[in-house]
């Protein structure tokens, strides 16, 4: 069974640009969540999608957005990039449909560098 796949793995952007990251969950998983990992702030929850609907949202500005497609694949977009957006962006999928948290399966992440 294929794991969570994130693309691209590495990318470099300049301030003011926008970026789109993609995540393909494990087959059959309908929940996809996104996390930002930085040395200073650690791991922070961005948002979660389930059946194409945003179910949870973290405390990030509106420049961070996401969506989920009918095949459960998800994308996140960051507009008007800032230096502080440099981070490892992790996607995780879960088979949980409702209720209390289940096990998350993480991808290897997309490392974004903003110059």
Partner 1 sequence: AQTVTQSQPEMSVQEAETVTLSCTYDTSESDYYLFWYKQPPSRQMILVIRQEAYKQQNATENRFSVNFQKAAKSFSLKISDSQLGDAAMYFCAYGGAAGNKLTFGGGTRVLVKP
Stretch that binds partner 1, among 10-18, 28-36, 64-72, 76-84 (CB under 8 A): 28-36
| CA dihedral sign of residues 62, 68, 45, 12 | negative
Shorter beta-carbon distance to partner 1: residue 62 or 99: 99
- The Cα 73–Cα 31 span in angstroms is 10
Structure tokens at 63: 């420049």
**Smallest distance, partner 1 to C-beta of residue 88, A:** 10
94 contributes a contact to partner 1 by CB under 8 A: yes
User: Which x/- pattern over 41-60 shows residues binding partner 1 (rule: CB under 8 A)?
Assistant: -xxxx--x-x----xx-x--
Map tokens 């702030």 to a residue: 41
């Amino acid at each position: 069974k294929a794991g969570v796949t994130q693309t691209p793995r590495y990318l470099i952007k300049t301030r003011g640009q926008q970026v789109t990251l993609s995540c393909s969950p494990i087959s059959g998983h309908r929940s996809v969540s996104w996390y930002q990992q930085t040395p200073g702030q650690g791991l922070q929850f961005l948002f979660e999608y389930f059946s194409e609907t945003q179910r949870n949202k973290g405390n990030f500005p509106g420049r961070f957005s996401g969506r989920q497609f009918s095949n459960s694949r998800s994308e996140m977009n960051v507009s008007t990039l800032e230096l502080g957006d440099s981070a490892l962006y992790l996607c995780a999928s879960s088979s949980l449909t409702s209720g209390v948290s289940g096990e998350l399966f993480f991808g290897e992440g997309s490392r974004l560098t903003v110059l």
